[in-house]
């Protein structure tokens, strides 16, 4: 790894730590002071990979767990746009080239292409959602859950290794809310928010809540990571807790709840979030963990459904995922795993029996004006500084931890 990685600090004191103690952690994108924990991805080497990339694809256990081969008989996400609100996306990565649309940079400064602290987390999320591989027959590299979907990158946070991070904290506090609205206005079918604020000062932000409602009213399905505070108090994470959002928790390859995954009332479904293979702008591949990865898997699953059934409203899609989830907890739902593991193949089959609802009544059938009861009331607090708003959640949602590279498409990485 290059000098943009550092030894993993503060790792969970569980068997997960034992398994991952040799990992390194990538510097995290910042959402002001708190947007970091929910999207944590810890990366490590898996089985030895080969120079032709054949060692990468078999390690993508998440695709098998979500029955993607079955789902791909119906849909691969063609015609669907997934907005990835993150640190930017490398549109020249061989596994994503051609699938990334011109996006929007709501930060306007900081690291750029070729700099190490640029677009790492966002590229990882885009890869989970819509990577198509590369090489002969696209058999090299990684495959996303919706390989024919388009990615709309919206830069709303900076990697923590970016020297402009502090500046962004102080001047771009509304970027997340602005990004959600912008993505909805561009016609995004799905908005992926692999980020969040689960800091001690986290609370519902009116601007973000309104932006989420705006996107839902425009027909966009909003997916967010539930948070990585499972071993740090399970604090509420926003935007996961906003009504209407599909909040995703993380499980390992055995279906066990990942210890770091936040347990809260808003948990909707779960998805793979441990030992997930992801691409990086340095043309290497990493293995990581985090509810950010889990959210990206669900965004890809939603893309498959929206591709085959574009008329379904966000409320219908959310209900569809909960009703078709498998391995449901006792009682049908709990705060650790939601309604169970998302099952895109089952959702596609069930969607074929649904009649699209009137888009003008997208929220019909739900309590009040939202899709659910809404965030719990919080005591009045002094208005925080602007940077503690939408971009301040870095400490709670975006943890992209990098370890050793698994394989690289180029024999020599820049700067090595």
Per residue in 313-327, pLDDT (tens digit) is: 999 999 999 999 999
Query: Residue 274: its pLDDT value, please?
Result: 96
Most confident of 32-36, 42-46, 265-269: 265-269
pLDDT tens, 202-217? Answer: 889 999 999 999 999 9
In whole numbers, what is the pLDDT of the chain averaged over residues? 80
DSSP state of 338: B
d(CA 110, CA 121): 15
Taking the CA atoms of residue 207, residue 212, residue 215 and residue 219 in that order, the dihedral angle to the nearest 10 degrees is -160
Do 322 and 247 meet the contact criterion of CB atoms below 8 Å apart? no
Query: Residue 263: its pLDDT value, please?
Result: 96
Instruction: List beta partners, residue 33.
Output: none
Query: Residue 173: its pLDDT value, please?
Result: 81
Do 241 and 396 meet the contact criterion of CB atoms below 8 Å apart? no
Query: Residue 54: its pLDDT value, please?
Result: 57
Query: Residue 58: its pLDDT value, please?
Result: 92
The arithmetic mean of pLDDT across residues 79-92, rounded, is: 98
pTM: 0.82
As a whole-number percent, the residues of the chain with pLDDT over 70 amount to 73
Query: Residue 261: its pLDDT value, please?
Result: 97
Dihedral sign computed on CA atoms, order 106, 109, 113, 114:
negative
Q: How many CB atoms lie within 10 A of CB 73?
A: 10
pLDDT over threshold 90, residue 265: yes
Dihedral sign computed on CA atoms, order 285, 394, 325, 345:
negative
d(CA 86, CA 109): 14
The residues that are catalytic are: 86, 121, 292
d(CA 198, CA 262): 9
* Position 137 confidence tier, pLDDT thresholds 50, 70, 90: very high
Listed residue (283, 280, 286, 400) closest to 45, CA to CA: 286
The arithmetic mean of pLDDT across residues 7-30, rounded, is: 28
User: Which domains does the chain carry?
Assistant: 28-373+391-397 (3.40.50.200)
| Strand residue runs (E) in 350-409 | 393
Query: Residue 302: its pLDDT value, please?
Result: 98
* Position 155 confidence tier, pLDDT thresholds 50, 70, 90: very high
The arithmetic mean of pLDDT across residues 172-193, rounded, is: 96
Listed residue (313, 300, 296, 234) closest to 267, CA to CA: 234
Do 151 and 130 meet the contact criterion of CB atoms below 8 Å apart? yes
Q: How many CB atoms lie within 10 A of CB 147?
A: 23
d(CA 190, CA 207): 19
d(CA 44, CA 200): 29
Q: Which two tokens stand for residue 128?
A: 């989970």
pLDDT tens, 371-411? Answer: 444 334 433 334 333 333 334 333 334 444 433 445 444 33
Query: Residue 230: its pLDDT value, please?
Result: 93
């Amino acid at each position: 790894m290059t000098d943009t990685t550092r030894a993993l600090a503060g790792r969970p004191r569980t068997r997960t730590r034992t398994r991952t103690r040799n990992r390194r952690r990538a510097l995290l994108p910042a959402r002001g002071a708190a947007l970091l924990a929910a999207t944590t991805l810890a990366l490590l080497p898996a089985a030895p990979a080969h120079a032709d990339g054949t060692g990468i694809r078999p390690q993508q256990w998440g695709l098998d767990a979500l029955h993607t081969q079955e789902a791909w008989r119906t849909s691969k996400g063609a015609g669907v746009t997934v907005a990835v609100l993150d640190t930017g996306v490398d549109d020249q990565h061989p596994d994503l080239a051609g699938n990334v649309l011109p996006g929007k940079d709501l930060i306007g400064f900081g690291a750029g292409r070729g700099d190490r602290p640029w677009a790492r987390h966002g590229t990882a999320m885009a890869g989970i959602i819509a990577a198509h591989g590369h090489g002969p027959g696209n058999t090299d590299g990684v495959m996303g859950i919706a390989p024919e979907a388009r990615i709309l990158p919206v830069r709303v946070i900076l990697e923590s290794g970016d020297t402009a991070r502090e500046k962004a904290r102080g001047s771009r506090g509304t970027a997340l809310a602005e990004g959600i609205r912008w993505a909805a206005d561009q016609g995004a079918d799905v908005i992926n928010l692999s980020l969040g604020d689960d800091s001690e000062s986290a609370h519902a932000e009116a601007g973000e809540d309104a932006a989420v409602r705006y996107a839902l009213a425009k027909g966009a399905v909003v997916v967010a990571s539930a948070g990585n505070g499972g071993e740090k108090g399970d604090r509420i994470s926003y935007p996961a807790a906003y009504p209407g959002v599909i909040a995703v928790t993380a499980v390992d390859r055995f279906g066990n709840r990942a210890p770091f995954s936040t347990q809260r009332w808003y948990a909707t479904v779960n998805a793979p979030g441990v030992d997930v293979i992801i691409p990086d702008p340095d043309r290497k591949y990493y293995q990581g963990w985090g509810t950010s990865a889990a959210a990206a898997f669900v965004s890809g699953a939603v893309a498959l459904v929206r591709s085959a059934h574009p008329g379904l409203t966000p409320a219908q899609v959310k209900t569809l995922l909960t009703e078709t989830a498998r391995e449901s907890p006792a009682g049908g739902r709990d705060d650790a795993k939601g309604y169970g593991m998302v099952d895109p193949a089952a959702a596609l089959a069930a969607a074929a029996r649904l009649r699209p609802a009137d888009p003008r009544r997208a929220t019909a059938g739900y309590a009040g004006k939202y899709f659910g009861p809404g965030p719990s009331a919080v005591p009045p607090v002094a208005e925080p500084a602007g940077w503690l708003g939408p971009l301040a959640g870095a400490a709670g949602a975006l943890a992209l931890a990098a370890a050793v590279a698994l394989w690289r498409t180029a024999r020599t990485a820049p700067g090595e």
